[in-house]
Amino acid sequence: MTQNQSRRSPKSGGNNKGRKAGFGSIRKLPSGRRQARYTGTDGITYTAPTTFTTLQDARAWLSLRQSEITRNKWKPPQNESMATFAHYAETWLKDRDLKPRTRSHYSALLENRLLPQFGKYRPVQITPDAIRNWHASFGDETPTLRSHCYGLLRTILATAVEDELIPSNPCHIKGAGRAKKVHRTEPATLDELSQIVDAMPTEYKMMTLLGAWCALRFGELVELRRKDIDAENGVIHVRRGAVRVNGRIHIGTPKSEAGIRDVAIPPHLLPSLKKHLLDNVAHGKDSLLFPAVNGGTLHPTTLHAHFYKAREVAGRSDLRFHDLRHSGAVLAASTGATLAELMGRLGHSTPAAALRYQHISKGRDAQIATALSDLAEGKSK
């Protein structure tokens, strides 16, 4: 008898907490999915090897089992026919509401890292020891990949616990879902930022400035349009983002719900922004601020070809374009912005994400120390 089989009296009809479906029973699990059970001709209650998104899907599965019994075609399910992790993970991914890039990322992790190791096993057969050995096999060369793989495995198995397919989550490695940064990004100084902007082509100078001073993501910048800019009040309305997945551009909402935000533009940028709108942006409210040569969405490699040359001028060959967002966030933090204010400006939904940018900038700790002494001596600014 397997874990998904339990001997009950034929009169019980399965879990009495479930909703009777004529044949068998269906109940709603904490995860929101439906679990179907029925009693076979051998008097044993069987649970469907997977859970279902809708009540209709669960009823359809029970109807097939009932038809098999009616036609004398039914056979007791064998262990090897129970849902494998591969089958469960496929269903899990299909039912998730994910951004295109996230879905593609998860699919790649499953195909290349999780399924080769765990795909053939049922969730209940995946043990803590097996997970620890698999996790150790990554070594220390790819900490981010290792943390992403572990985090995905833990999340899928957590859903299996909610679906009552397994009694508990076998992922017990403390801190394994968090990657330690191998390289700490050094924010660009104001002088370095100025040199980089000066070295960029005219049509991308403002893009570089907004990437730094407004801490916008590349995908948010390339989807900015005239209608998103309130130059008179100095506000950028971030409402969309562009991502490339498998060579195709997907336009949607920003990375998270918090990414839909209004960002105040530092006043010193407004004259340059107005000039950019006048000289480099086509008329019409839907015209892109930073279009590709053909008028479509700018490709990252086009920008990087110019940015890599510009960063060399500033002596910062280590700097990525996305690091300008980091630099802008650190600058904002150095003004005394609170964590909540940083979260709002950066479009982060959790404090942990914004905290990554609250590093101590050069000289800031000394300023804090001086301010503390001023307080002790009763000085006021």
| Joined tokens for residue 149 | 């793989």
Query: Which position has the higher pLDDT, 1 or 146?
Result: 146
Does position 6 have pLDDT exceeding 50, yes or no? no
Q: Is residue 357 annotated as part of the catalytic site, yes or no?
A: yes
Catalytic residue, from 217, 261, 316, 345: name it. Answer: 217
What does the angle CA 18 – CA 20 – CA 24 come to, to the nearest 5 degrees? Answer: 90
pLDDT surpassing 50 at residue 314: yes
CB 289 within 8 A of CB 273: no
Q: Which one of the listed residues 146, 276, 325, 345 is annotated catalytic?
A: 325
Catalytic residue among 7, 19, 96, 322: 322
The candidate with the shortest Cα–Cα distance to 13, out of 46, 60, 48, is 46
The DSSP letter of residue 291 is: B
Residue 355 class from Cβ within 10 Å (0-12 exposed, 13-18 middle, 19+ buried)? middle
What does pTM read for this prediction? 0.66
Q: What are phi and psi of 75, to 5 degrees?
A: -130, 145
Give per-residue pLDDT as tens, 235-265.
999 999 998 887 788 888 887 788 899 999 9
Is 325 a known active-site residue? yes
In the chain, % of residues over pLDDT 90:
54
Q: What is the mean pLDDT of residues 172-192?
A: 80
pLDDT of residue 359: 53
pLDDT above 80 (res 1): no
Contact assessment for residue 115 and residue 84, using Cβ atoms and an 8 Å cutoff: no
Rounded mean pLDDT, 307-326: 95
Supply the pLDDT for residue 24.
Answer: 93
Q: What is the largest CA-CA distance in the chain?
A: 92
Of 87, 76, 86, 69, nearest in space to 4 by CA = 76
pLDDT of residue 16: 39
* Amino acid code (one letter) for 334: S
Within a 10 A sphere around the Cβ of 302, how many other Cβ atoms?
14
Q: Give the H/E segment covering residue 300.
A: helix 300-313
Q: Tell me the CA end-to-end span of the chain in Å, nearest whole number.
A: 77
User: Could you state, in order of their start, the residue ranges of all structural domains in the chain?
Assistant: 5-81, 85-162, 190-364
CA 348 vs CA 155, 221, 315, 340, 345: distances in Å: 21, 16, 30, 9, 8
Give residue for tokens 């195909």. 111
Residue 192 phi/psi, 5-degree rounding, is -65, -40
Over residues 183-237, the pLDDT tens digits come to 567 889 999 999 999 999 999 999 999 999 999 999 999 999 999 999 999 999 9
d(CA 38, CA 62): 7
Instruction: Please answer whether residues 187 and 361 qualify as being in contact, where contact means their C-beta atoms are separated by less than 8 angstroms.
Output: yes
Per-residue model confidence as pLDDT tens digits over 33-72 = 899 989 888 887 788 888 888 999 999 999 999 999 999 9
171's tokens = 């992922």
Fold for 190-364, please state it: hpI Integrase; Chain A (1.10.443)
The letter for the amino acid at 322 is H
pLDDT tens-digit readout, 118-157: 999 989 889 999 999 999 999 888 888 999 999 999 999 9
Percent of the chain predicted with pLDDT > 70: 85
Helix (H) or strand (E) holding 37: strand 34-39
Residue 8: pLDDT band with limits 50, 70, 90 = very low
